[in-house]
Homo-oligomer: A and B are copies of this chain.
Amino acid sequence: MADVIVDEGRLAKFCTQVFVKLGVQEKDAEITSDVLVASDLRGIPSHGVARLMRYVDGIRNKTILSDAKVTIEKETASTGVVNGGNGLGQPAGYFGMNLAIKKAKDSGLGFVTVHNSNHYGIAGYYSMMALKDDLIGISMTNSAPLVVPTFSRDMLIGTNPISLAAPAGKERPYVLDMATSVVPRGKFEVYERQDKPVPLGWAVDEKGVPSTDTKRIIDNMAKTAGGGILPLGGSGELLSGHKGYGMSLLVDVLSGVLSGSDYGPWVKTLKKDGTKTHINVGHFFGAIKIENFIDLNKFKSTMDEMMLGLKESSKAEGEKRIYIHGEKEYEKYDEYKKNGVPLQEKVITALKKLSEEMNIKYDIEK
């Protein structure tokens, strides 16, 4: 099915109205919509408005609180602990990252944990917030357990993304934004729609054995019947799957254990004690003032030099281009900002349904 092209401004406004109708404060609704639309604009539809229904469902069944208050529980000149109040992850993340940025501007460093939060969208949204102040931004979050640790057969850790954004001079900033798993869950759905086996090294079956059986993997994941996505580096230790597993734990140590949120297998609504409650996701944000270490212009010109050097180096046989992290997303952003954002037909259908249910005018198409 062909994608439908929509106007990003009207799309954001539509999403904002959905959240407001559900009882979310207007400002928080705007932030959440901005994070979702930013993801579509950057060519990451898996984390964009396609997820709107999950948030709506979460608010409706009260695993996400619409009237949450985000508060600072503890702070020093360079550190902070934020309680997301079990509301949407985006306003909690936005608040936490802004706190880190403020502290970095004042003291040189700002590191902030957030607990009692929810899925916060793309990690890169928050790290990139630091760029406007010429800071290095860091963003991590734990997430629902979909990844199988090395030598295990169950989904016990999250896809736990890491993002770091660093400013450059003439070049676009360096923006790493990566799940610590081989691939995100959404990639399996793409292969399922195409009725294709997934590449070996993406997932294991219910016995913990590498599998390419797309349908079986997806079914197992849905039923938590064993198996799941592999960490970056794949199965076992031969291609260093234990490193991806370790990176996922690193994210959980900082976002989960240090923040006091849930961790690993318990980042879900069904908890250890059998109760069903808030998912309690944790985030970790950092901001670093470059001038505390080196002249800002020197930093930026060296970033330019490093990135240009990589891009202009000899390509592998058959390859035309070497990318810097964030470059593809900036190009999508430029394109979609100009021509409109493509949304899948099924996302459009869901939005139209919401429009009727909530009596919100559907006027997003270009």
Q: Does the CB pair B108–A294 fall under 8 Å?
A: no
Which residues A150-166 have CB closer than 8 A to chain B? 150-154, 156-157, 164, 166
Picked from B109, B156, B234, the residue with its CB within 8 Å of the CB of A239 is B234
Q: Does the CB pair A250–B176 fall under 8 Å?
A: yes
- Chain B residues closer than 8 Å to A204, beta-carbon distance: 316
Q: Does the CB pair B182–A233 fall under 8 Å?
A: yes
Chain B residue nearest to A151 in the complex (CB): B319
A248-266 CB mask vs B (1 if < 8 Å, else 0) is: 0110111011111001110
Which of A79, A164, A240, A263 has the largest count of B CB atoms less than 10 A from its CB?
A: A240
Known contacts A176-B249, A240-B182, A242-B323: does B293 contact A258 (CB below 8 Å)? yes
* Interface check A199, CB cutoff 8 A: yes
Q: Does the CB pair B313–A156 fall under 8 Å?
A: yes
Chain B residue nearest to A175 in the complex (CB): B246
The size class of the interface chain A forms with chain B is 35 or more
Which of A182, A247, A260 has the largest count of B CB atoms less than 10 A from its CB?
A: A247
Q: Does the CB pair B150–A322 fall under 8 Å?
A: yes
Q: Does the CB pair A239–B201 fall under 8 Å?
A: yes
* Interface check A302, CB cutoff 8 A: yes
Picked from B232, B240, B250, B310, the residue with its CB within 8 Å of the CB of A264 is B310
* Interface check A321, CB cutoff 8 A: yes
* Interface check A76, CB cutoff 8 A: yes
Which residues A168-182 have CB closer than 8 A to chain B? 174, 176, 178, 182
A200-235 CB mask vs B (1 if < 8 Å, else 0) is: 011010011100000000000000001000001110
- Chain B residues closer than 8 Å to A113, beta-carbon distance: 293-294
* Interface check A81, CB cutoff 8 A: yes
User: Besides A149-B322, A164-B253, 9 other CB < 8 A contacts?
Assistant: A78-B78, A79-B109, A81-B292, A153-B314, A164-B250, A176-B247, A199-B238, A232-B243, A232-B244
Top-7 shortest CB links A-B: A208-B316, A151-B319, A207-B317, A79-B292, A176-B246, A246-B325, A178-B243
